[in-house]
Structure formats: structure tokens, C-alpha cells
A and B are shown apart, each in its own frame.
Chain A
Amino acid sequence: MNHVVPSSELEAAAIIRDAAARGESVEIVGGGTKRGVGRPVEAATRISTAGLTGVTAYNPAEMVMTARAGTPLAEIEAALAANSQRLSFEPPDFRAFLASAGEPTIGALAAANLSGPRRIVAGAARDSLLGVRFINGAGEILSSGGRVMKNVTGLDLVKLLAGSWGTLGLLTEVTFKVQPAPETEETLAVRGLLDDAAANAMAHALATSAEVSGAAHLPEPLSKTVGGGLLGSDPATLLRVEGFAESVRLRIEKLKARLAGAGAFETVGEAHSRAIWRDIGNVAPFADETGKPVWRISLKPTEGHAFALALRREALASVFYDWQGGLVWARLEDAAEADIVRRLVRAHGGGHATLWRASPAIRAAVSPFEPQTPALTALSERVRKAFDPKGILNPGRMGP
């Protein structure tokens, strides 16, 4: 495979134009840390955004930041932190979980539409993504959206590009909305709950005005895999509150009052709170170097625990829950069991299951992304053709 690292958008466009002219496929990578997700791509050329770097516009008073796609996420987060700001959707770092190396890039964050625990209140990457520049499959340089927070001018191609895993275009520049970082945070841990009681407690917590910004449940013994093990291995139902100190204290009290009698309460303190949620977002419970298949299942929050129970009846699996139970991470101890997982998702109110970790052989054999209805599959294919008529960009990556 021919590996190219263009140093400009124009150069990248020329490479794709040439590939299109030859009808040859192109694999698009950023830092390459998530190459092991989705169908393995077989392409004549691998094009990396590593040469397209740098924050191009950032005025903290506008709460907007623009950077070239290959800019390391760490560089962006440092620039924002220097101004007490952050990306609100809490970008995860999957390197330990996926056993991959390299620098995650801001462009890949958009291309994979990632988000962390704060997704329940702040949305995913796509909700903060205001604008993109990209190169389509014909090698045309295009932009959509912009640097403003409200924009309904024309079709929202920004949303389409987010989460398209490089199958619609090569992102060259992205603009994200940013937000002020709160003064502090605290996490309330409710201990000893079984999964169904935890789901109930989380639903009650999110129905309060406490503005919970993280709601996760770690069953025994996975609770010991986050935050340096300080939680021990008893089940931990975790609720995060962010803001200024006095407000955080009051809202934790409000949660305790609402959940009185549910279980024993612990608070973990700011530093441990940060560590715990970083680990949950990064899927640290399964950063186990086993390479065993791990599914990321998105469904209605109240269905998460019932789904997991049904799954464990049919296959050996370990699970933990984020997003109030609406995000289930499940490690299968033997085979990937795609049919069981997807049948049970359908049986529990619908949603989708993505195989986030598995060997290339498994990812070639089962569809890592949720197969869609024939009507939506046909529609999505027509949309892909509208961007990439010859189907040369990351062909098959999201495919069935």
C-alpha cells in the first residue's frame, strides 16, 4: 500500500482526484488509533491527515475553535485549557482499550462522532461541530457550516460528515463550539445496587434539576477498574455534578435527598471524580489487552439493564453502563455473538450495536456497524454516491 502524508489541503485534493481518475480506493486515517474499528479497508493508497495540523482560529470570547484535521487532540485540549475552556462532549481516548498507538486527532473525533459521559447533557461531537472543510470523492474542496452557533443555511452536511468514518470525504478542517470549564466537580457514588435498581436511581437523578452531567453504573467487580481502584469492587452507581463549589455541594445534597434509601452514599472528591469519568469514557474497564470482542450498544436508557441481563443469559459477557444506562459496553468472553446481540437490541426497544473491538477476521466476518433497514440502506448508499460517485473513500468501512 502506498502511504501518503499531504502537507496541504490542495495536495490532499490532488491525491484524491488522481485516485478517482484511476478508480483506485483510498484509505483515510488521522492518527490511526481507531483503524481497528469497522470493516478493514483494502485500498491502494493510505492518506493521512498528520501533515494538516494547527489551530487556525480560536477566540475564547466567541466560544469557537477551528483547527486543521490532523491536529492532535492533546494540542487542542491544552489550548482550550489555557483559556479555562473545553470541548463539552468529553472526547474519549480509546488507545488503551483498543491497544493502539499514535496521536488521536481532532478530525477523527468528528469523523467518528465520538463523545464521552457528558453526552447525556452536552450532546455528541456532532452537536458541537459547527463547520467542516472536506474533500469529496471527486477531489473537490468544499465547506459546510461555519464559525457561528446558529446556522440553517442550506443542507446540514456537517452532521452527515460527522460519524461518516471517512466514507463521504476527507475532513481537512473542523470548527467546534467550546464551553467554559466549570470551577469544580464532584461525584456521588451510590453503592451496592443491582443493575435494575441502578437504572431506576439514575432515571430519578436525571429527573431532578441537579443537572447531572454523568450517570454510569459499574457492576461488581468492574467498579475497581476505574479511578485507581478507590471504589473497591462493590457495585457503584455514579452521578457527576459540575459547576462552582457551593452549587455543586447543594446539588449533591439534592441528589442524596431524592435517592434517600437507595443505597449507601459516598462522595469521591474532585480529583478522583475526574479520574473516574475519564476512565469510564475511555472504556478503561475493558482496557485489558485480551482483544476479546467488545460491543458498544446504544438504546433507551431504561432498557440497558434488561438487555444486558438477557445477553448474559445467552452468552458469557461482562457489561457496564454509561449515559444513564443508554450506553452499554459489553465484553463477550468467547465469540462476538453478533446475532444474539442484535436480536436482543431489537427485542429491547431498538437501538444499535457496534462491534468496537474485535480481530480483523471477526470484523471481516460480521458487520461491525448495525445493519439498517433496506430503505435506509438504499438511501444511505445514494447519499454516499452523491459525495463519492466511484466509491473510493474508505470503501466498505461502515458496510454490512
Chain B
Amino acid sequence: MSAIAFLEPDAGVIARRGAIIAGLVECVGADGLVSEERELKPFETDGFAAYRRMPLAVVLPKTTAEVASVMRFLHAEGVKVVARGAGTSLSGGAIPEEDAVVLGLSRMSRILEIDLPNRLARVQAGVTNLAISDAVDADGFFYAPDPSSQLACTIGGNIGMNSGGAHCLKYGVTTNNLLGVTLVLADGTVTEIGGGALDGAGLDLLGLVCGSEGQLGIVTEATVRLIAKPEGQRPVLFGFPSSESASACVSDIIAAGIVPVAIEFMDRPAIAICEAFAHAGYPLDAEALLIVEVEGSTVEMDAMLRKIVDIAHRHAVMTVKESQSAYEAALIWKGRKSAFGATGRVADYICMDGTVPLSQLTRVLRQTAEIVAAYGLRVANVFHAGDGNMHPLILYNVNDPVEAEKAEAAGMDILKLCVEAGGCLTGEHGVGIEKRDLMRHQFSKAELDQQMRVRAAFDPAWRLNPSKVFPLDDRGAA
């Protein structure tokens, strides 16, 4: 595999490993430290499993104070830090480095406060995304961003990547649902940014921290917005004879002034894979499938669906399947949300995450197919069509180094295509290591330098998740 480079490990730090581990034990106690090779193994990679590095150690603090003491110690020792939530990153954002300590937030999993009159929850960063919604479900509320990994992924990781999900067309992504964080800076200083009010004071550091991939500090607590659940939700399945007709249908739905909560797209290979796994009743004869979800009262949903179905009929829709029960609705979503896992059962894959303007969807889909075919590989597309966030899954055999190389090259070509089409490299998975070396396709040198100067305002010594996001060479200007 044409390996993505990491920074050269600092031999001096590795030589001091014993002393560093002893210092960390002082901070968090022996039960908060992982240092045996066998126990470190599960931390060597994340959801981007083609790359792995053993960390120097893993530290698992339980409180903000413990995180601060760990950060003060590592600052004094000049040791790098890689923050980790549940390790579900698809871009390698949580992959360790040999001379870095992984700061895992899994033991910070308490919900600290639920304030329904103000519709907010204050949680520790290791709380899972779904746990927040579960905690307020009975009271009629939910936390809106819903990445597919929501059962496992943590709110800290969501903030690190500014995670999205299927329903962000209506409710926005993490940054739009975040009111405040407790951020421990590189030197161990504890800061509170934002809080219970809708707008923060001063520069919008909260907006900057969200999506900064663990490079600006360690988020230990978060205040997130809760939203009253809609009266009802109803997903509808549409099967189309071509990707073009499905894409055109999406454009027309939006042009008609209808904004469903979700519009999800799958192509034929993805339909087959998901149906074989979930038995959701997906139409196997369709070239493309849309899941359109509307919500509100029965009257509202009926009216919206009527308009949407009319539009679909103008685009030669073959199958229209409305869910008749909560069970059917859950089944329809099960197929979509398990798409990545289901794909993993039939082949190894890498998942791209570029976003393109809606007017470019059809062209980019077609050219994506051409790019992957030219490498002799197969692709399955499953993505958020309403917001142009594409997820081509390039299928390959991980044990065949030639195929692996081709898959990676095809992925890079697709991302360049997304940028060229007026879009971006990553809509919700983050840059991590995966897309780091493509950043120059998105940004000019001056723009990258500007971002790196901002980064350096938080972490002048480049100790926080340093191998990620920014190309390794030419960091000097910052």
C-alpha cells in the first residue's frame, strides 16, 4: 500500500516511556492507565483500520481535573497526545503514534445534567451519541445529529469531527446543536467556552473547536441542545430505473420548496448488499433507491408525501413503499444505517465522504463509477442526497496489496473530482490521516498557512494529534 506517512517518532520520548507511565499513574491511578502491549492492541487503530500504530500508553481519566493533570504533565514532558472517543473514526483521526499518549474518554460517560425547560443536556465527552437521546426519549426530546455509528460513537468524538448524520438536512450537524464545551488546553488550562445561552461571547471559539479533530485541546464536557420530538415520522422508499432519475427527483423535491428531514440515496450494489443483510424490503430491481423521511402531524406528513410522490412519478419511479408502522419504518432505516457494516460482510471497502453541490450529483455519480471501473474495482454508493454528502464505498480485497493500492488511488481521484465539482473533501468523517495529503487540492498555501497559524494559537508545539489534518511538510510557516 502506498502508505500514508506519520511523523517520525521521537526516540527520546520513547526512551523515557517508563518515567512517563509512572507520571501518568500519578495523575490517574494505576487503574486509569493501559501500558501492557496486549492491552494496548485494541487502541492501535480506529475505523480506518488499514493503518495502525501502537501508542506509548493509553490513559483513561475519569474527570476534567484528571484530564487537566494529565495534560499538564505531558506538556511539561513534551509528549504528544491523541484524543480518542470510541475509536469509530473513518478517517484515522484517532490512530495513535508511537511517541504519543492516547487520551481515551471512555470512562467519562456520565450525563451530568438534563434541563428540559431550557432543552439542554450537559454530558461528559465519553457519553455515546445515542445515550443522550435515550435519556430524554421518555420526556419527548432527542439529540438531533445521528451518525450511523451513534450506538458506539461518543459526543467528544462527534465534536472532534463535527459529525453529521441522516437527519441534518433539517436539524443541522454537531456544530449547530452544541452550546458549550469544557476544553482542556495543551498546557492543562481548563476553559469553559459557551454554556447554556444560545450565543456565546467574544470570538466564536466554540465553532472553531467543533470539527478541529483533537488538535486544539481536549473536550471533556459538552452542553448540547435537545429538541422536542416530532409528532410522527414516516420514511418512504422509492425505487428508480436510474441514478439520474433519482438525482433529478431529489433536485425537484428541493426546488418545490419541500425540505424533508432526510433524503438518503443508494445505488444498485448498495441496495443488494443492504437488503441481503437487513431484509428491509428494498426493491432489488431498482438502479437507485431513495429513502425520504418526513415528520410532523399525520395531516402534514400526508400532505408532504403527496407532493413528494407526485414529483417521484414525474421521474419514472418504479416502486413507492410507505411505511405503515413503526416496525416498518425502523426496518427501512435499519437497512440504511447498517450499510457500512453490511458492506463489510461482502468485501473490504474504503468509504469516501466528499460533498458536492446538489446540481453536480448526477455527474459526480457517473464519473465516480467510471473512475472505479477504470481501476477494475466495484463501487457501492450510499449517501445523504439532500445535502450532497456522498459516500462511495470502494470494494476491494484487503489481503491483495495491488487491489488495496488501487482502491486508495480511486478514492483519491474521487475526492479530487468532488473538489473540482465545487465541493469538498469531507462532509462529516473528517480529514484525519486519510485525506490529509489532499488538503492542497482544497486549499491554497496561504489558506493552509492561515489555518495552521490558528492551530498554533492553541498548540504552538504541535503536540495534539500532530500527524493529522495538515500535510506533514511545510508546516514551518505556521
List, in ascending order, chain B residues with CB within 8 A of A380's CB.
Answer: 202-203, 205
List, in ascending order, chain A residues with CB within 8 A of B442's CB.
Answer: 153-154
List, in ascending order, chain B residues with CB within 8 A of A379's CB.
Answer: 185, 191, 205, 457-458
Residue interface mask A135-147, B partner, CB < 8 A = 1: 0100011111011
Give A contacts to B, CB under 8 Å: 59-64, 84-85, 113, 115, 119-120, 123-124, 126-127, 136, 140-144, 146-160, 162-164, 168, 179-181, 203, 206-209, 211, 243-244, 246-247, 250-251, 298-303, 323, 326-327, 349-352, 354, 369-370, 372-373, 375-377, 379-380, 382-387, 398
Shortest distance from the beta carbon of B476 to any chain A beta carbon, whole Å: 15
Would A209 and B231 count as touching, CB distance under 8 A? yes
| Interface residue? B367 (CB, 8 A) | no
Shortest distance from the beta carbon of B370 to any chain A beta carbon, whole Å: 22
If A61-B251, A302-B118, A383-B203 touch, does A155 touch B455 (CB 8 Å cutoff)?
yes
Would A247 and B198 count as touching, CB distance under 8 A? no
If A209-B229, A298-B199, A350-B195 touch, does A152 touch B204 (CB 8 Å cutoff)?
no
| Interface residue? B454 (CB, 8 A) | yes
Would B207 and A119 count as touching, CB distance under 8 A? no
Complexed CA–CA distance, A373 and B257 (Å): 45
Complexed CA–CA distance, A115 and B198 (Å): 11
| Interface residue? B78 (CB, 8 A) | no
Complexed CA–CA distance, A181 and B259 (Å): 11
Complexed CA–CA distance, A203 and B47 (Å): 40
Dominant secondary structure at the A interface: mixed
List, in ascending order, chain A residues with CB within 8 A of B447's CB.
Answer: 142-144
Residue interface mask B351-380, A partner, CB < 8 A = 1: 000011111000000000000000000000
If A123-B176, A151-B427 touch, does A146 touch B202 (CB 8 Å cutoff)?
no
Shortest distance from the beta carbon of B434 to any chain A beta carbon, whole Å: 12
Q: In the complex, which residue of chain B has the Cβ closest to the Cβ of A398?
A: B202
Complexed CA–CA distance, A378 and B118 (Å): 31
Would A207 and B119 count as touching, CB distance under 8 A? yes
Q: In the complex, which residue of chain B has the Cβ closest to the Cβ of A63?
A: B254
Q: In the complex, which residue of chain A has the Cβ closest to the Cβ of B386?
A: A149
Of the A-B pairs whose beta carbons lie under 8 Å apart in the complex, a sample of 8, sorted by A's number, is: A61-B255, A150-B427, A152-B429, A159-B204, A180-B259, A300-B195, A303-B196, A376-B191
List, in ascending order, chain A residues with CB within 8 A of B196's CB.
Answer: 299-300, 303, 349-351
**Which among A149, A209, A370 is the interface contact of B387 at CB below 8 angstroms?**
A149
- Of the candidate stretches B14-22, B281-289, B417-425, the one touching chain A is B417-425
Listed from nearest, the 7 A-B pairs whose CB atoms lie closest are A159-B207, A180-B257, A352-B201, A150-B427, A382-B457, A300-B196, A386-B453
List, in ascending order, chain B residues with CB within 8 A of A179's CB.
Answer: 259
Q: In the complex, which residue of chain B has the Cβ closest to the Cβ of A387?
A: B450
List, in ascending order, chain A residues with CB within 8 A of B189's CB.
Answer: 375
Would A148 and B357 count as touching, CB distance under 8 A? yes
List, in ascending order, chain B residues with CB within 8 A of A60's CB.
Answer: 255
List, in ascending order, chain B residues with CB within 8 A of A354's CB.
Answer: 201
| Interface residue? B208 (CB, 8 A) | yes
Q: In the complex, which residue of chain A has the Cβ closest to the Cβ of B422?
A: A147
List, in ascending order, chain B residues with CB within 8 A of A377's CB.
Answer: 202
If A64-B357, A153-B426 touch, does A206 touch B228 (CB 8 Å cutoff)?
yes
Would A151 and B199 count as touching, CB distance under 8 A? no
Complexed CA–CA distance, A71 and B43 (Å): 51
Shortest distance from the beta carbon of B283 to any chain A beta carbon, whole Å: 26
Would B197 and A383 count as touching, CB distance under 8 A? no
| Interface residue? B389 (CB, 8 A) | yes
Would A153 and B450 count as touching, CB distance under 8 A? no
If A149-B387, A386-B457 touch, does A124 touch B428 (CB 8 Å cutoff)?
no
Would B202 and A376 count as touching, CB distance under 8 A? yes
Shortest distance from the beta carbon of B122 to any chain A beta carbon, whole Å: 11
Shortest distance from the beta carbon of B93 to any chain A beta carbon, whole Å: 10
Would A206 and B207 count as touching, CB distance under 8 A? no
| Interface residue? B10 (CB, 8 A) | no
Complexed CA–CA distance, A156 and B208 (Å): 5
List, in ascending order, chain A residues with CB within 8 A of B448's CB.
Answer: 154
Shortest distance from the beta carbon of B152 to any chain A beta carbon, whole Å: 19
**Which among B116, B168, B254, B458 is the interface contact of A150 at CB below 8 angstroms?**
B168
List, in ascending order, chain A residues with CB within 8 A of B303's CB.
Answer: 244, 246-247
Shortest distance from the beta carbon of A179 to any chain B beta carbon, whole Å: 6
**Which among B197, B357, B454 is the interface contact of A299 at CB below 8 angstroms?**
B197
Would A156 and B162 count as touching, CB distance under 8 A? yes
Would B427 and A152 count as touching, CB distance under 8 A? yes
List, in ascending order, chain B residues with CB within 8 A of A158's CB.
Answer: 207
Within B206-245, the residues touching A (CB, 8 Å) are 206-208, 210-212, 228-231
| Interface residue? B335 (CB, 8 A) | no
| Interface residue? B92 (CB, 8 A) | no
If A126-B204, A372-B202, A383-B454 touch, does A149 touch B355 (CB 8 Å cutoff)?
yes
| Interface residue? B344 (CB, 8 A) | no
List, in ascending order, chain B residues with CB within 8 A of A127's CB.
Answer: 172, 175-176
Complexed CA–CA distance, A247 and B231 (Å): 12
Q: In the complex, which residue of chain B has the Cβ closest to the Cβ of A249?
A: B299
Would A150 and B457 count as touching, CB distance under 8 A? no
If A383-B457, A386-B456 touch, does A142 touch B446 (CB 8 Å cutoff)?
yes
**Which among A61, A144, A247 is the interface contact of B299 at CB below 8 angstroms?**
A247
Complexed CA–CA distance, A144 and B424 (Å): 11
Shortest distance from the beta carbon of A213 to any chain B beta carbon, whole Å: 13
List, in ascending order, chain B residues with CB within 8 A of A247's CB.
Answer: 296-297, 299-300, 303
Would B164 and A251 count as touching, CB distance under 8 A? no
Complexed CA–CA distance, A376 and B206 (Å): 11
Q: In the complex, which residue of chain A has the Cβ closest to the Cβ of B453?
A: A386
If A64-B357, A203-B117, A375-B191 touch, does A351 touch B197 (CB 8 Å cutoff)?
yes
| Interface residue? B439 (CB, 8 A) | yes
If A113-B199, A146-B422 touch, does A154 touch B431 (CB 8 Å cutoff)?
yes
Complexed CA–CA distance, A373 and B415 (Å): 41
If A298-B198, A351-B196, A375-B185 touch, does A156 touch B207 (CB 8 Å cutoff)?
yes
Complexed CA–CA distance, A120 and B197 (Å): 11
If A300-B118, A369-B202, A383-B454 touch, does A147 touch B208 (CB 8 Å cutoff)?
no
Would A155 and B212 count as touching, CB distance under 8 A? yes
Would A62 and B357 count as touching, CB distance under 8 A? yes
Besides the known contacts A63-B254, A163-B203, A203-B118, 10 further A-B residue pairs in the complex with CB atoms under 8 A apart: A63-B259, A124-B198, A140-B450, A164-B204, A207-B117, A209-B140, A209-B297, A300-B195, A370-B202, A382-B457
Complexed CA–CA distance, A23 and B219 (Å): 37
Shortest distance from the beta carbon of A62 to any chain B beta carbon, whole Å: 5
Q: In the complex, which residue of chain B has the Cβ closest to the Cβ of A376?
A: B191
Shortest distance from the beta carbon of B427 to any chain A beta carbon, whole Å: 4
